[in-house]
Structure 1
Amino acid sequence: MILEVAILNVIPGEENAFEKAFSLAQNIISKMAGYISHQLKGCIENSSRYILLVEWKTLADHTEGFRQSKEYQEWKRLLHHFYDPFPVVEHYKDIEL
C-alpha cells in the first residue's frame, strides 16, 4: 500500500467552493483502479489549508493509472484552480520495524 500525501493551500475565501468541488471530485478518484481510500482534512490553524491522504495499491496506480487517465482531466478541471501555490504531492510506504 502507498499513501499519497498532498498539502492543499486553497485561495483564501474559496474554501466553501473548494469543498463543494471536492465532494464531486472524490467520486472520480474513488472509482480508479488501485484506489483504496481517501481522507480530506481541514487545518485548524489555517482554514484555507487542507491535507489529502489517498491510499493506493501501488505507486503506478496513482502516477500512471490516475494521472494519465481521462478522469484526471475532470479532476484537474474541478480542483486545480483553487490552489495557490500548487500542491506538492509525496508518496509514503510502510516501514517494517
Structure 2
Amino acid sequence: MILELADIRIHPGQQAEFDQAIQRGLTEVISQAKGFAGYKVNKGIESPERYILTIFWETLENHTVDFRESAAFLQWRAIVGPYFAAPPVVEHFNLLTKSS
C-alpha cells in the first residue's frame, strides 16, 4: 500500500467552492482509478487555504503511471486546478508502522 500526500494551497476566499470541488473530483474521478484504495482530506485550521489530501494506492505505479498518464488526471485537474494558488507538493510514502 502506497500513501500519496498532496499539500494543497488554494486562493483565499474559495474554501467553500473548493470543498465541493475536491469532494466531487475524488468521488467522480479518482475513486474510479486503477489501484485506488481510499482517501482522506484534512483542512487547515490556522491556514484555512491549506489542505492535506492523502490517497491510498495499491502500488506507486497506480498513481504515477496509471492515473497520472490517463485522461482521468486531466478531468481531476479541470475540477480542482482552478483553485490552486500554487502547484500541490506531492510525495509518496510506504507504511512503516501503525496502531490498531
4+ residue segments displaced more than 3 Å? none
The residue that corresponds to 1:93 in the other structure is 94
> In the aligned structure 2, how far is the partner of 1:71 from the partner of 1:5?
19
> In the aligned structure 1, how far is the partner of 2:95 from the partner of 2:43?
24
**For 1:3-31, what per-residue CA distance to the aligned partner results, in whole angstroms no more than 9, with x for missing partners?**
00011101001111111111210121011
> In the aligned structure 2, how far is the partner of 1:45 from the partner of 1:13?
14
Q: Where in structure 2 are the equivalents of 1:15-34 lying within 5 Å?
A: 15-27=15-27, 28-34=29-35
Equivalenced residue count is 96
- Please tell me the residue identity of whatever aligns with 2:57: W
What is the TM-score normalised by the length of structure 2? Answer: 0.91
The residue that corresponds to 1:7 in the other structure is 7
In structure 2, the gaps of 5 or more residues are none
Identity %: 33
- Please tell me the residue identity of whatever aligns with 2:72: E
Secondary structure at 2:86's aligned position in 1? Answer: coil
- Please tell me the residue identity of whatever aligns with 1:62: H
**For 1:40-93, what per-residue CA distance to the aligned partner results, in whole angstroms no more than 9, with x for missing partners?**
110111111110000000000000011111111110100112111211100000
> In the aligned structure 2, how far is the partner of 1:4 from the partner of 1:46?
21
